[in-house]
Chain A
Amino acid sequence: MSAVQLKPEPEVALATVTIDGQKVTVEEGTTILEAAKRVGITIPTLCYHPDLPPQGICRVCVVEIEGSFLLQAACTYPVRDGMVVKTNSPLVREARRMAVELMLARGDHNCPTCSRNQKCELQKLAESLGIRENRFEVVRVPQPKDTSSPSIVRDPEKCILCRRCVAVCQEVQTAGVLFPTGRGVHTEIAPPLGRDLAEVACVNCGQCILACPVGAIYEKDDTDKVWEALADPTKHVIVQTAPAVRVSLGEELGMPTGSITTGKLVSALRRMGFDKVFDTDFTADLTIIEEGHELLHRLKTGGTLPMVTSCSPGWIKFIEHNFPELLDHLSTCKSPQQMFGALAKTYYAKKTGIDPKDIFSVSIMPCTAKKFECTREEMRASEYQDVDVVLTTRELGRMIREMGLDFPSLPDSEYDDPFGISTGAGVIFGATGGVMEAALRTVYEVVTGKELPSLDFHPVRGLEGIKEAEVDLDGTKVKVAVAHGLSNARALMERVKKGDSGYHFIEVMCCPGGCIGGGGQPIPTTLETRRKRVESIYQADKELPLRKSHDNPAIKKLYEDFLKEPLGEMSHELLHTHYVRRPLV
């Protein structure tokens, strides 16, 4: 033991600063914004986002520093020992107001018709700064909305040029689409070459929506299509709900972050008039059976390895644009949403005797990319569009508010048969590492014929960017990796491209944290809320009687009655797909 040398802790230089008369000692290099928080002062911000590097461009967080001629941005300015800061002097208040008034004087800031009404950081700021009139004349440079994408709408006239979406698109997701273009009053955060979102390598992840402080970028609203179908007596309207929605819808409707509201969700949908309320978790279980067998097949027959999961449509479009040479690595399994869609208008239609043309299939997703996915031409296995409309968690929240349902006080109810029975393995699809863990639970037992000693695969859980694990399948070592957020996925795929990654199986989720952090989730979605929702997902898994996909009795029956066997002819027709190479612009 004596050989072990303890390294001395590196010395941290401290700085004592006075902020609005309060003394506080912090590490040198801490920003004024952070230091002020320690003494209970929240300096207003706008271009600052807790999960992104500070930029200091909006000038809302300016403060006065004794001895400094200019006001400084608190979000970027580091403290020095002995510094005296005023965050609320007349000079600061005037500068802050002017910054906000100037933002309000450019473009369209008509709150009642804005997608972010009551959830807008600029609106909140104007309220808390007591801005009742604007001394500047409003200037509107006409900039048309971009409605080209099935997922995302850009409204440049609402944009305040804070560049938070740029940081997310370029750095966090490396989709590389949004960037400032032009200059001065003509500046627009936009895709390159004057193109629309649908004409570039946008993956529809919607992380830009979560980052936007105002209503300049938002999901395409499809709620009217659903209201219309619900009011049409000739339509049999069915709905599926994704795993992640049950731990986030409550938050959208005023409940604490991470509330698990599965039963209330089902009640609400039934009250809205859906004929059947089903669970995407059911087809998540089905995905595990198909994908698990696909992995085993590839391992046995020398197929392309590592195999990479294909549930996340943002990830799929990303690899199609950025790594078209690696498409063979993707599992051919459709996502649970699309497996559900294909079965609803074939198996379910046949079973119930309803003409598939009369079935209107809705899905509730945490995801904006799912709106794109359902419109892909490969997703018409039933010869109709398999999933008609995708609503995000936020859109469903709006419909429930519009209808006037008191969501928190709704009773719990159960999903309908036959697509309502699911397992904990299906639920954990909602968190990064969940698909991997669900697959391992099944693959282990299929291969070894033994029951797992513990169902929890902790190395693949958590919010670390890239996670790795090795699983011993009775002598066969399987090396797996999990990435979430596309910058992490890119790093992992660069290793795969080199050919020496050594992995057999990789899970990729497009959004940080997995689907619980999806672009259709309640705003705000931050690292902190992602963490809470992940905890709730594993809690929901733990509470279910069945936790392994292959134990799902409805899945067994589906194979007996209809599909016959995993990777069989029926599966290939309905549950598997192919991918397309897309150019990178």
Chain B
Amino acid sequence: MGCCKEAPALSAEVDRQLDEVVGKHKDQPGALLEILHEVQRIFGYLSDDVLIAVSKKLGIRTSEAYGVATFYSLLSTKPKGKNIIRVCVSGPCHVMGSDTILQSIEDELQIGVGETTSDGLFTLETTSCLGVCSDAPAMMINDKVYGNLTKEKVRMILRSYAEVKEASVS
């Protein structure tokens, strides 16, 4: 009945975790952004159900939470791979060939920007300046910055992440 999709109930455990995060930040200015960051750290991304629940707990509308979640490139409303590659496409990196770097990653992983590899190991994104222009072109994988990139260097870096996975499997 009715026009709208009902939100499925979150599990009690997820709900408790959200309560905890919201409770911690509720009364500080800019609470929403802090909360979204922390919630994403726990769940990997901001699902519809999580955004609806956080909005309700904060007493704001989902439209606002979703607006904020989609504005900031470090927040994501889609599930992501284990490792997030962010290639800088700002001016200096662009001049130093970030296009080629991006292309070589796409070729190596067989995915485009915004996509995740089928094994869930990598998500490829672009980003604005990482603040390491002297080492352009640069990229970040998770919290680690890599500079002075070349096609060859990129391939080696990516393989090192893939090997970590294989090692942990065996």
Contacts and interface: CB of A to CB of B under 8 A. Distances in A.
Contacts of A581: 2
A176 B67 contact: no
A181 B3 CA distance: 22
A179 interface: yes
Given A193-B48, A193-B51, A583-B7, A179 B2 contact: no
Contacts, number: 68
B145 to A, nearest CB: 22
A132 interface: no
A180 B3 contact: no
Interface string B59-95: 0011111110011110001000000000000000000
B70 A582 contact: no
A182 interface: yes
Interface stretch (A194-202, A208-216, A284-292, A533-541): A194-202
A200 B52 CA distance: 12
Q: Point out which of A176, A183, A200, A585 has the most chain B C-beta atoms below 10 A from its C-beta.
A: A585
B62 A193 contact: yes
Contact of A583 (B4, B67, B73): B4
B152 interface: no
B2 A583 contact: yes
Given A170-B61, A183-B71, A585-B52, A193 B3 contact: no
B51 A582 contact: no
A447 interface: no
B63 A177 contact: yes
A580 B2 contact: yes
Contacts of A321: 4
B6 A583 contact: yes
Given A182-B71, A585-B52, A192 B62 contact: yes
Contact of A181 (B1, B4, B56, B66): B66
A431 B2 CA distance: 29
A197 B3 CA distance: 10
A191 interface: yes
Contacts of B62: 176, 192-193, 585
A584 B76 CA distance: 22
Given A199-B5, A585-B4, A179 B63 contact: yes
B144 to A, nearest CB: 25
Nearest to B72: A183
A193 B54 CA distance: 13
Given A182-B70, A192-B51, A193-B48, A582 B63 contact: no
Contacts of A176: 61-64
Interface string A151-195: 000000000000000000010000011111111000000011101
Nearest to B56: A584
Contacts of B51: 192-193
Contacts of B61: 170, 176-177, 179, 192
Given A182-B71, A183-B70, A183-B73, A580 B1 contact: yes
* Range class of the A interface residue count: 20 to 34
A191 B67 CA distance: 9
Interface in A542-585: 580-585
A201 B4 contact: yes
A582 B2 CA distance: 6
Contacts of A180: 67, 71
Contact of A199 (B4, B52, B56, B64): B4
A477 to B, nearest CB: 36
A582 B4 contact: yes
A191 B63 contact: yes
Contacts of A181: 66-67, 70-71
Interface string A301-323: 00000000000000000001100
Interface in A192-251: 192-193, 195, 198-201
Given A180-B71, A183-B71, A192-B66, A200 B2 contact: no
Given A183-B70, A193-B51, A585-B52, A178 B63 contact: yes
Nearest to B60: A176
A179 B64 contact: yes
A53 to B, nearest CB: 17
A252 to B, nearest CB: 30
A183 B128 CA distance: 12
Nearest to A189: B67
A193 B2 contact: no
B157 to A, nearest CB: 28
Contacts of A199: 3-5
Interface string B1-30: 111111100000000000000000000000
B4 A200 contact: yes
Nearest to A581: B2
Contacts of B77: 193
Nearest to A200: B4
Contacts of A183: 70-73
Contacts of B64: 170, 176, 179
Interface of A: 170, 176-183, 191-193, 195, 198-201, 320-321, 580-585
Given A182-B71, A183-B72, A193-B48, 17 more contacts: A179-B66, A179-B67, A183-B70, A183-B71, A183-B73, A192-B51, A192-B62, A199-B3, A200-B4, A581-B2, A582-B2, A582-B3, A583-B4, A583-B5, A585-B4, A585-B5, A585-B7
22 contacts: A170-B63, A170-B64, A176-B61, A177-B61, A179-B63, A179-B66, A180-B71, A181-B66, A181-B67, A183-B72, A192-B63, A193-B52, A193-B62, A193-B66, A200-B4, A200-B63, A201-B4, A320-B2, A582-B3, A583-B4, A583-B7, A585-B4
